[in-house]
Structure 1
């Protein structure tokens, strides 16, 4: 069950990224930075970025692929109606996938956009 992210929900244009950078709340740790905007004038839900400080295009694209996969696997746990911009940091270049995924989940919980899944007894 390999699902791709729909192009309709992924940010593509510079003006969308700039809007999120200006209007969003920011949460960060050593591996990633997430910018979260609750009221987004664009219809997109998510964007991915990796600055030139991380390395060449191959490295930046690798980081963005990891971030896309982490979002794709965890989007069911994220509240509907918020726009997220996920930016890779230098430590993410050498970090393991699982570490970056834990970092993403922790930051989403800190930002209070993580859905609380009820625990079933029995």
Structure 2
């Protein structure tokens, strides 16, 4: 599901753990209550270029996420926690291959978070 709402984004930027990639950053937070669900947002700020470039990078991020989300979703489901995350583009002049490599690394790091390891016990 897509992360929506001002309160959720405020929480992501104030309380979430940051993880940095070459072109894309990720901020995520886990919740004890699985009712919070598994939600993700794709962000490309105005500093990344005009609307067409921002939309393109978000499309690339969504596709790379769609193809590589299974490990993180599986870890979160097994741990019985909620997850909110945001993938944030820092540059718009990048290839799909670079975006996908960044997203794979970011999702793997989130899936190996110690909170998930402790929540399943």
Choose 53-62 or 33-42, whichever is displaced more.
33-42
TM-score (norm 2): 0.75
> Which structure shows the bigger proportion of residues in helix conformation?
2
The equivalent residue for 1:11 is 3
Partner Cα distance (1:61, 1:96) in 2? 14
Give the TM-score of the pair, scaled to structure 1: 0.74
Gaps of 5+ in 2: 77-81, 114-121
Q: Point out the structure with the larger strand share.
A: 2
CA contact (8 A) 1:40 1:83 kept: no
CA RMSD of aligned residues (A): 1.9
Q: 1:48 aligns with which of 42, 48, 55?
A: 42
When the two structures are aligned, how many residues end up with a matched partner?
103
Deviation at 1:33, TM superposition (A): 0.5
CA positional deviation for 1:44: 4.7
- Contact preservation (8 Å) 2:45, 2:54: yes
Deviating 4+ runs (over 6 angstroms): none
1:73 aligns with 2:72: no
Q: Is the 8 A contact 1:40 1:82 kept in 2?
A: no
Is 2:56 the counterpart of 1:62?
A: yes
Unpaired segments of 5 or more residues in structure 1?
A: 1-8, 114-122
Q: Per-residue displacement from partner, 1:41-93 (whole Å, max 9, x unpaired)?
A: 74351011010001111111111111111111111121324221100012xx2
CA distance in 1, matches of 2:62, 2:49: 18
